[in-house]
Amino acid sequence: MMPEIEDIVEIVKDIPGRNIRAGMQGTVVYSHGNDVYEVEFTNENGETLDFLALPARHFIVVWQAATRQWIPIAEQASALIAVLPDDAARQVFDFARFLSVRNCAAAI
């Protein structure tokens, strides 16, 4: 999913040399084109911590401003898996299958 201005995104990898860590959320404030977006990170008081121009591969969209809705967790997981190497994606898929089987067995 391509981000749009005012979408909330979540970082998927630490940003070296900055205090931006995987899991932090920021707001898309500008599109530079070529799949690069300016993202603003703020603290709980709304004070700006950092502005970074980031390629889309460094984050996933977790909230869409246009619809004013959070992205379902299954779509967020799918976006994360899509950027993993095949062997890592297979491990995540196998683990998800394990959880599915375990939850189905518990429901019987």
Same domain? 65 vs 18: yes
**pLDDT > 70? residue 17:** yes
**Are residues 71 and 25 in contact, defined by beta-carbon separation less than 8 angstroms?**
no
Are 2 and 66 within 8 A, CB to CB? no
Pair 76, 62 in one domain: no
- Answer yes or no: pTM beyond 0.85: yes
Tens-digit pLDDT profile for residues 30-61: 999 999 999 999 999 999 999 999 999 999 99
For the chain, the first-to-last Cα distance in angstroms comes to: 37
Let me know whether 57 and 37 are in one domain: yes
Its domain, for residue 83, covers 72-108
- Are 89 and 105 within one domain? yes
pLDDT-derived band at 108, boundaries 50, 70, 90: low
Residue 102: the pLDDT is 85
Q: What average pLDDT does the segment 13-36 reach?
A: 94
* 54 and 10 assigned to the same domain: yes
Q: What is the DSSP letter of 54?
A: E
